[in-house]
């Protein structure tokens, strides 16, 4: 609701004195001029969080690369869907939009001009996508079946990380090593195996841990693809090695629906 404060000064003498004092105080505190609206005053004082410099160009299909540092964001051969997921800190299953956002590739080079945290970097990226792609995203909740990750009854086996750096994952024969990783990032990693997974552990901070999934690989020939066998072993390792619980449940999930986006961004 917009409250207007556009009373003409030559008519203020008709207003009851106490009301006049109230109106004048509101104008002084809010910085509203006669004839303007409170909403206009608020918009005028809002400052967008933006990158110091940014360039976007259409790119060809190749291996996607995303590098985020405290002062710089680099995305190569990335679809718009990847930029949206990074900007809103969501997983693939939460994003709904036209098919082309998953196929048309872009390179995005942006600098913050000063060190910023993850939250501010995402805010800068949201502003960039809004300005250059005219992106409009609507949020809504939908019921869907998900793998829910919670902490087991005996507690978790995650070692707190003292490093403030971002997640690093490395794979070796039969095991995957995670450094400075949140449980939300672990859930996103597991979602990549085809079963959307949501983090409901309630655990905060970053952790170091290892998934020795090799010992849980089922050698039974039952028609599953090698990738399915690998992903099933990973999920067993999460429960056996980390003390976390994975259950299939139907829950209400926040979805992000793309209502508008330009396939060709505006010029740099």
The pLDDT of residue 127 is 97
> What is the side-by-side strand order in the sheet with 159-160?
159-160, 207-211, 175-181, 168-172
Number of domains in the chain: 3
Asked if residue 120 belongs to a domain, the reply is yes
If asked whether residues 235 and 216 sit together in one domain, one would say yes
Give the Cα separation of 146 and 188 in Å (integer).
12
* Domain identity same for 68 and 121: yes
Residue 92 CA to residue 99 CA, distance in Å, equals 13
Is residue 149 included in any domain, yes or no? no
pTM, two decimal places: 0.71
Domain that holds residue 33: 9-45
* Same domain, yes or no: 60 and 29: no
The pLDDT tens digits of the residues spanning 77-121 come to 999 999 999 999 999 999 999 999 999 999 999 999 899 998 999
User: Is residue 34 domain-shared with residue 60, that is, in the same domain?
Assistant: no
Nearest to residue 235, comparing CAs of 251, 252, 218, 220?
A: 218
CA distance 236 to 130: 41
pLDDT in tens, 184-212: 999 999 998 778 999 999 999 999 999 99
Say how many CA atoms lie within 13 Å of 199 toward its Cβ: 17
- Using pLDDT thresholds of 50, 70 and 90, give the confidence band for residue 10: very low
70 & 41 share domain: no
Do 135 and 172 lie in one domain? The reply is no
């Amino acid at each position: 609701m917009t409250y207007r404060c556009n009373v003409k000064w030559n008519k203020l003498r008709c207003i009851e004195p106490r009301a006049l004092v109230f109106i004048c105080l509101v104008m002084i505190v809010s910085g509203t001029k006669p004839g303007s609206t409170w909403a206009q005053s608020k918009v005028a004082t809002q400052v967008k969080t933006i990158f110091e410099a940014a360039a976007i160009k259409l790119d060809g299909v190749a291996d996607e690369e995303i590098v985020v540092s405290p002062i710089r964001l680099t995305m190569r051969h990335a679809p718009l869907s990847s930029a949206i997921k990074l900007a809103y800190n969501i997983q693939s299953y939460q994003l709904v939009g036209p098919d082309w956002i998953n196929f048309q590739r872009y390179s995005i080079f942006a600098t913050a001009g000063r060190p910023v945290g993850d939250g501010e970097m995402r805010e800068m990226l949201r502003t960039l996508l809004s300005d250059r792609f005219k992106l409009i995203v609507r949020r809504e909740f939908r019921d869907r079946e998900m793998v829910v990750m919670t902490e087991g009854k005996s507690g978790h086996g995650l070692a707190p990380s003292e490093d403030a750096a971002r997640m690093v994952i490395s794979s070796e024969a039969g095991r995957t090593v995670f450094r400075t990783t949140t449980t939300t990032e672990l859930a996103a990693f597991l979602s990549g195996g085809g079963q959307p997974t949501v983090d409901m552990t309630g655990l905060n901070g970053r952790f170091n841990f290892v998934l020795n999934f090799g010992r849980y690989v089922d050698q039974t020939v039952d028609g599953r693809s090698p990738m399915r066998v690998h992903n099933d072993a990973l999920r067993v390792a999460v429960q056996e090695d980390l003390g976390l619980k994975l259950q299939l449940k139907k829950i209400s999930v926040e979805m992000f629906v793309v209502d508008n986006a330009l396939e060709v961004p505006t010029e740099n």
